[in-house]
Chains A and B, each alone.
Chain A
Amino acid sequence: MNIITGIILPILLIALWHILTVTGFIDPLFLPTPESVMHTLIAGLSSGELIGHSNATLLRSIGGFMVASAVGVPIGLLIGRSKLLSQLMQPTIDFFRSVPASALFPLFLFMFGTGDTAKIAVVVYAAALITIVNTAYGAMQVRETRIRAAKVMGATSWDIFWKVIVPESFPGIFAGLRIALSLSFVIIIVTEMFIGTNVGLGYYIINAQMVYRVPEMYAGIALTGLIGYIANMGLLIIQKRVLHWVGR
C-alpha cells in the first residue's frame, strides 16, 4: 500500500510532463519529452558512459561522507556530553552552518588545488557540520536515569560512554548521517560542475547544458535523483534494523 501510494505522485508528474511536452506547451529545447529523456538515459547506461560518471560521483561523495562521519560522530558525542565543549564550539559551528559550502569553493581551491581532494574537502566540511549537530543533539537526549543506573551497577565513565551514551545517541547519529549522505551527493555534483574535472554526473549535466544536449542533461538529472533515492532507501533499511526500538 505504501509503495503504491508513493508512486502515485511521480506517475502523475511524468504524465503532466508528457502532456506539456507533446502538446508543444513547453519548447523541447527547455524540456524534452519524458520518452526522449528515458531513451537517452537507457542509451547512456548501456554504453557505459553514465555508469562511469556515476561511479566517479559516488566514489567522491561516499569518500567525503565517510570522512565526515568519522570526524563528525565523535566530535558530536563529545559536544553533546560536555557542557564546556558545547559552549566552546557551538557558536563557531552555528556560524559555519550558515555559510553555504559553495561560497567557500575559492578557499578550498586555494588549499587543495583543483583535483578530487578539494571536492571531497567541501563535502567533508558540509556533511561533518550536519553530523556533529545531529549527533550532539542525540547525545544530549540520553536519559540521566539510565546513566545513574549504570553508575550504581559500578560502571566506569568508559562503560557509560560505550554501553549507554553511544547506543542511546544512535537515533540522532542516524538522522545526521541520512542528511549528510544526501548532502554529500548534492555537494559533490555541484563541485563537479564548478571545480575542474572531466568525469562525474555534475560534469555530465553541466557539459550537456552548455552544448544544448537537453535530453542528456535531463537524463543526468534523473539519474542523480534515482541514485539519491536509492541511497536514502538503503540507509532507511539499515536504520530500521539498527534502531528497531525507536518509536516503540
Chain B
Amino acid sequence: MIEIKSVSKSFTKPNGGRVSILKQFSLNIKKGEIVTLFGPNGCGKSTLLSLLSGSVEPDRGKVILPWSEEAKGNIGFVFQNYGDVLHPWRTVRENLELPLEIHGGSTKEQREEQALQCLKNFGLDEHADKYVYQLSGGQHQLVTICQATVYNPELLLCDEPFSALDYTISRRLWLQLRNFLVKHDMSTMFVSHAIDEAIFLGDRVCVLSPRPGKILKDIKIPFGKERTLDMVNTPEFFAIRKEILSTFEEGRKKSA
C-alpha cells in the first residue's frame, strides 16, 4: 500500500509570497490499483507525482512507500513532454536499456533481452533499432511508457502523457496501457485533463478541488479489470462522466 498522509505543500511565488498547493491531502493506492487524478490547472496534481517520486519533499505530512529510500527502480515516471525525456542519440532499444544500465547488476545481453521483451508487449519490437526521431508521436510516447516500465517498477506515475496526441491515437494508447498495467499488476497514479481518459484508465477517479488541492470525490469505476473502448459509449460511462463534471463544477464555484 502506498500512502499519502495529510501532506501539505506550498511554494514561493516570484513576488516572494507563498502559495499553498496541497493542504492536509491524503490518498492511498493499493497494490495493482490505477488511480487517476482529475482536476483544474494548478490544483497540485503534478506536485503529488513529484512528492511520490521523491523529487519534492512535503512541508508537512508523510509519503509512505513500501520500500526503502535507497532502493532503485521502484518508480517509473511518464512525463507529459515525451520529446524531452527520451535520448535522441540512442536507438529505441538503447533508450529502454538506459534505466537498466543505471540500476546495474545485468549484462548487456540481459538488458537487450529485457528491452526487446518490453517493446514486444507494446507491439514496438520492429522499431527497436530505429532512433526515436524516426517514430510517430504515438509511438514516441509509447516508448517513454516502455522506458518507465521496462524495469517493472512498483509504482508508475503518469503526468498527462497523452495530452499532446490526437484523440484517436490517445484512445488506442489508453487500451494498450490499461492492458499492460493490469497484466503486470502495477500500481499507477495517472494525472489527466481528459475526462474519458481518466474514467477509462482508472480503477478510481479522484476529482480534485482548485488550489489548495483536496479530494472532492473518490469515485470507484465499476467496469472491472478488462476493458474495451466501446465502454465509453455506455450509459454507465456517461453517468460517471456526469458525476465527475458536476463535482468538478461545484468545486470550482465554491472556490470562486
Contact = CB atoms under 8 A, between A and B. Distances in A.
Instruction: Please classify the interface of chain B as helix (H, G, I), strand (E, B), loop, or mixed, using the class held by over half of its residues.
Output: mixed
Contact of A152 (B53, B87, B131): B53
B85 A145 contact: yes
Interface residues of A, number: 21
Contacts of A244: 89, 131
20 contacts: A143-B84, A145-B81, A146-B85, A146-B87, A148-B79, A149-B77, A149-B79, A151-B55, A152-B55, A153-B73, A153-B102, A153-B151, A154-B102, A163-B102, A164-B87, A167-B89, A244-B131, A245-B89, A245-B133, A248-B133
A204 interface: no
B98 interface: yes
B138 interface: no
A151 B81 CA distance: 16
A190 interface: no
Contacts of A84: none
Instruction: Please classify the interface of chain A as helix (H, G, I), strand (E, B), loop, or mixed, using the class held by over half of its residues.
Output: helix
Interface string A120-156: 0000000000000000000000010110111111111
A153 B133 contact: no
Contacts of A248: 88, 131, 133
B99 A153 contact: yes
Interface of B: 53-55, 72-73, 75-77, 79, 81, 84-85, 87-89, 98-99, 101-103, 131, 133, 151, 157
A154 B133 contact: no
Nearest to A144: B84
Contacts, number: 58
Given A152-B55, A153-B102, A154-B103, A145 B79 contact: yes
Contacts of B77: 149, 152
A155 B151 CA distance: 14
A152 to B, nearest CB: 4
A154 B73 contact: yes
Most B C-beta atoms less than 10 A away, residue of A149, A168, A245, A248? A149
Contacts of B73: 153-154
B85 A163 contact: no
A247 B79 CA distance: 22
Given A145-B85, A167-B89, A245-B89, A159 B102 contact: yes
B101 A148 contact: no
What are the 4 A-B residue pairs with the smallest beta carbon separation, nearest first?
A: A154-B72, A245-B88, A145-B84, A248-B133
A170 interface: yes
Nearest to A152: B77
A119 B102 CA distance: 44
A52 B198 CA distance: 73
A204 B90 CA distance: 47
A182 to B, nearest CB: 25
Contacts of B151: 153
